[in-house]
Chain A
């Protein structure tokens, strides 16, 4: 088991290198520092000197891969690749265009992101499983049929609509909750409520429909018939047997996104003014701050790979067939 995990961890390294090379290619080869400077400076201020100055300010005035003027190992280290791409392996992200340290921003903004994303995940999971179990309990009746249709309808509504409608009705029209903003500690509760509510509702359609198919797949299996033949009631069959087996794919699906919760949700955070990593990212995209986007790409990939490893571990934890073989 330990060897297995170790192997998975080592397997993650070439993937991170791949991500790194890909972002390097995207940000520095396809799109040279000159291009970035031009974009940042705007049409009016583009002069060769301004471009050079911008490049020096942001540390892009070095050769891409090989510095022939430097001596010794500096030939490799005093390059854009080493200082801007390879440095990310040490989680050194440098500074954003606004001059702030990206690493610092990430650590301070993780909290607010998590404050929204974690409740959304947990509450959403419970709500969706409940709905799915209800539909499965009433399967092949009109309740189930219309439940599925309702899910499809909910799925067909744009996520933006949920947010805008939630803000408009709950916050603006009925004044129940603040429309946006964030505060730490216990005061923050009222700010968290609306984004969490909206995100959970937005996820009900696709979530409960997916869980329903998982449970239906399980309920068609032979062991369910065995359980019924024992004389168990339908509710017990659902909870003791179907849920237990269905939770395996559901839980492992959840585990893979767990680390990514730190990244927050772009849209929700941006609409509700949550100072998390999601809104940080979106601001960076809109301001075309390449350094921040690059850092977030690396961070996201890293967390995703952590999620993959956790998934493998969790599989062996929840499924005895994997654990004991």
Chain B
């Protein structure tokens, strides 16, 4: 059978760089081919090359792209426009930006219908409505007249998909289609894509960095590294035994459930693509590399149906197993470090003629938690649930509306903020915006010590080099500016900055979500080592459950400003009781097949905290909602061992458990 798409030796240049270098692959009709790789490996550029939509400055140097019988690269631009959006459609990563903000959804879909199917007027409208229906947009007729900003991220991505389907494409290219979405929404969108592919017998090119997404959606996998394809195989074979050292290391860098050991990290960085690269591009970072790897670029080799570009194909030692040690028992006796009660952060909503306060956004509503010294509490939730606000309110970066915060037994008020600042510090999400580009690294580290008067002035310089060593940066890093460092290194600097005032609690706000998997592993290992060495406590704010399992001792799950379930990590993650936690857990795409448990798919989106539903905030999406859920916010139900949930359903099923409070 002829493949639907055949790419041969595609080379795409960007100035003097070859961002895609000799990539070949095929996609059959009805098949999902996943291009897997970390940021900057050239996977998006490959997709844009196929569509001939490269940004200014990019150009296709050589190679061929055939879509069925058509030589795509040879088409004149006029004919290419019929292919683009017609036979081959693409959806993009950022649904917030990828739709025209001032054109109605129906008109944006209609444009593609008019172009490729010559539909207009009522016919176009009906077809567009049908498309919206098919991608699961509720109330499609009304949505046709909506503007994109009126839709949530998940709905926008569905509109994007509907638009791509308008031309009835044979091939759908999905470039990180769910990366910007929350896990529960990601699961919904991936379901839609899977269903549509099967219904329409489309070929799909799925571009992603997420092994879990690949495992659940792809038929075949191609791994890209530094502009080249380095491994290709069927999904099951790939997940049973990846052959390229890079693929293997990607697996081992991934935190997985039931696994507390150190993560494998990939040392070094992706080589710059401008120079003439000799030998295997992965050799400088490969633990198995030998002389030949550095001199000769490996060709394709086949092993049991898998293809790999590695001189050691098939000869690699059996899968390296990480040393699976359990959480190192903390050497420090547990003592409560942070205690929070009744924390509230309300933002006033002002409306009307004199800007009267008409209500409050309850970003954080009555949150209580405690963290022991030397332990990690993970605060988990989807975007907009208020978890970052909790972190900032604890440090008084946002003034809390109410609540009692005690640190090391001392109640924190506005007057003794300095005590707080010496004991608690923060690491931020985006390593690019968290370091001032105009300050040297040493000055960045000194800032906190100077402001809080930590240590004698003369000794601070020594403290800087000590800190740099501690986070694994070279000594000369202090004299350089942040732009000289990669994302992972910047995050190390940010951690060193927090440590500069020797805090006992570090609030980590999604510290790895902007990083690639291999770099994430380095940072997670570092955080763990620092905890063991210094007895730090962490409040780890994240949406990534895999990371939680790796790092946390305790977990608190937040939904719309409130904690709905809390307990020891093992209890909450192994046996989640709140329906929301359960749905969250089952929505995470996993490498291993889901064992037994039924997959719970949430419908709809998280409601706006502006106007949360009455009763239990979760009831509109809850599969177990009853009458009482719509009226009364549930109390805590203790489940033993410090594990509790706020859920009427759980409480009803366990009448024997005592209600706390």
Binding site for B on A (CB under 8 A): 3, 6-7, 139-140, 221-223, 225-233, 240-241, 244-245, 248, 319-321, 324-325
**B97 and chain A: residue at smallest CB distance:** A222
1/0 per position for B37-64, CB-CB distance to A under 8 A? 0000000000000010100100000000
19 CB contacts below 8 A, A to B, read A6-B353, A7-B355, A222-B92, A222-B94, A223-B101, A227-B111, A229-B84, A229-B89, A229-B92, A230-B111, A230-B163, A230-B166, A232-B85, A233-B81, A244-B103, A245-B100, A245-B102, A321-B101, A324-B147
**Whole-angstrom distance between the alpha carbons of A66 and B166 in the complex?**
76
Ranked 3 nearest A-B pairs via Cβ? A231-B85, A222-B97, A230-B85
| Residues from chain A with Cβ under 8 Å of B354 in the complex | 7
Q: Tell me the smallest distance from the CB of A207 to a CB of chain B, in Å.
A: 23
Return the contact of A3 from the options B115, B116, B353 (Cβ within 8 A). Answer: B353
Q: Which of B321-376 contact A (CB under 8 A)?
A: 352-355
Q: Which residues of B contact A248 (CB under 8 A)?
A: 102
Chain A residues, Cβ within 8 Å of B352: 3
- B53 neighbours in A (Cβ, 8 Å): 225, 228-229
Complex contact B85–A229 (CB within 8 A):
yes
**CB-nearest residue of chain A to B82:** A231
Chain B residues with Cβ under 8 A from A225's Cβ?
53, 92, 98
State whether the Cβ of B155 lies closer than 8 Å to any Cβ in chain A.
no
Query: Nearest-CB distance from A142 to chain B (Å)?
Result: 15
B 92-127 to A, binary, CB cutoff 8 A, 1 in contact else 0: 101001111111000000011001100000000000
Which A residues are in CB contact (< 8 Å) with B310? none
- Inter-chain contacts of A324 with B (CB < 8 A): 147, 149-150
Chain B nearest CB from A217 CB (Å) reads 13
Q: Check B97 against A221 for contact (C-beta < 8 Å).
A: yes
CA distance A321 to B151 in the complex (A): 12
C-alpha spacing A3/B112, complex, angstroms = 40
Tell me the complex Cα distance, A64–B86, Å: 77
Whether A7 contacts B111 in the complex (CB less than 8 A), given A228-B84, A321-B149, comes out as no
Question: Which residues from B are CB-within-8-Å of A240?
Answer: 103, 111
Q: Provided the pairs A3-B353, A140-B56, A231-B116 are in contact, do residues A226 and B150 lie with their beta carbons within 8 angstroms? A: no
Most buried by B among A139, A227, A244: A227
Select the residue from B85, B94, B163 with max chain A CB neighbours within 10 A.
B85
Could you tell me which residues of chain B, from 73 to 92, have a CB within 8 Å of some CB in chain A?
Answer: 81-86, 89-90, 92
| Residues of chain B within 8 A of A139, CB atoms compared | 56
Cβ-based interface call for B160 (8 A): yes
**Closest chain A CB from B419 CB (angstroms):** 42
Of A7, A221, A222, A321, the most chain B CB neighbours within 10 A belong to: A222
Q: Bound state CA distance, A8 and B274, in angstroms?
A: 56
- A232/B92 contact (C-beta < 8 A), A223-B99, A223-B101, A245-B101 known: no
> Does A232 lie within 8 Å of B115, measured CB to CB?
yes
State the CA gap A3–B56 with chains docked (Å).
46
**What CA separation (Å) do A6 and B354 show in the bound complex?**
10
In the complex, what distance in Å separates the CA atom of A233 from the CA atom of B77? 9
Q: Please give the distance in Å from A236's CB to the nearest CB on chain B.
A: 8
Tell me whether A231 and B83 are in contact (CB under 8 A). yes
> Beyond A226-B99, A230-B163: 8 further Cβ-contacts under 8 Å?
A6-B353, A140-B56, A230-B115, A230-B167, A240-B111, A320-B102, A321-B149, A325-B149
Give A245 to B56 CA distance when docked, in angstroms.
21
Q: Which of the listed residues B84, B101, B163, B166 has the most CB atoms from chain A within 10 Å of its own CB?
A: B101
Q: How far is the CA of A140 from the CA of B59 in the complex (A)?
A: 14
Chain A residues with CB under 8 Å of B82's CB are: 231
- Expressed in whole angstroms, the minimum distance between the Cβ of B113 and any Cβ of chain A is 10
Report whether A231 and B353 are in contact in the complex, using a CB–CB cutoff of 8 Å: no
**Residues in A neighbouring B103, C-beta threshold 8 A:** 240-241, 244
By the criterion CB–CB under 8 Å, are A229 and B353 in contact? no
B147 touches A232 (CB 8 A): no
In the complex, A228 Cα to B83 Cα: how many Å? 11
Query: Per a CB cutoff under 8 Å, which of A7, A221, A231, A320 touches B84?
Result: A231
Q: How far is the CA of A140 from the CA of B54 in the complex (A)?
A: 14
Contact of B147 among A6, A226, A230, A321 (CB under 8 A): A321
CB under 8 Å from chain A, chain B span 151-169? 160, 163-164, 166-167
Residues of A within 8 A of B166 (CB): 230
Residue of B nearest to A319 (CB): B102
How far, in whole Å, are A226 and B89 apart by their CA atoms in the complex?
A: 10
Q: B115 — which chain A residues lie within 8 A by C-beta? A: 230-232
Q: In the complex, A226 Cα to B95 Cα: how many Å?
A: 10
Complex: A232 Cα to B101 Cα, angstroms: 17
- Cα distance, A6 to B353, chains bound together (Å): 7
**In the complex, A231→B103 CA distance in Å?**
17
Within the complex, what minimum Cβ distance (angstroms) separates B434 from chain A? 25
Chain A residues within an 8 Å CB radius of B90 = 229
Chain B hits for A7, CB < 8 A: 353-355
B160, A226: Cβ atoms closer than 8 Å: yes
- In the docked arrangement, what's the CA distance between A228 and B88, Å? 12
CB distance from A297 to the nearest CB of B (A): 30
**Distance between Cα atoms of A131 and B198 in the complex (Å):** 49
Q: How far is the CA of A227 from the CA of B110 in the complex (A)?
A: 12
Interface pair A226/B92, CB less than 8 Å apart: yes
Most chain B CB inside 10 Å of its own CB: which residue of A230, A240, A321: A230
Min distance, Cβ A263 to any Cβ of chain B, angstroms: 31
Q: Which chain A residues lie closer than 8 Å to B56 at the CB level? A: 139-140
The reply to whether B81 and A226 form a contact with Cβ atoms under 8 Å apart is no
Q: Which residues of B contact A227 (CB under 8 A)?
A: 100, 111
Residues on A with C-beta less than 8 A from B353 are 3, 6-7
Cα–Cα, bound, A200→B249 (Å): 65
Q: In the assembled complex, which residues on chain A have CB atoms less than 8 Å from the CB atom of B51? A: 229
Minimum C-beta distance from B351 to chain A (A): 8
In the complex, what distance in Å separates the CA atom of A319 from the CA atom of B103?
A: 10
Question: Which residues of chain B have C-beta atoms less than 8 A from A226's C-beta?
Answer: 92, 98-100, 160, 163
The distance in angstroms between the C-alpha atoms of A116 and B660, with both chains bound, is 79
User: Which of A6, A140, A222, A232 is the one whose CB lies under 8 Å from B111?
Assistant: A232
Min CB–CB distance A61 → chain B (angstroms): 44
Nearest neighbor of A248 in chain B, beta-carbon distance = B102
Given the known interface contacts A3-B352, A226-B99, A233-B81, the answer about A320 and B116 at a Cβ–Cβ threshold of 8 Å is no
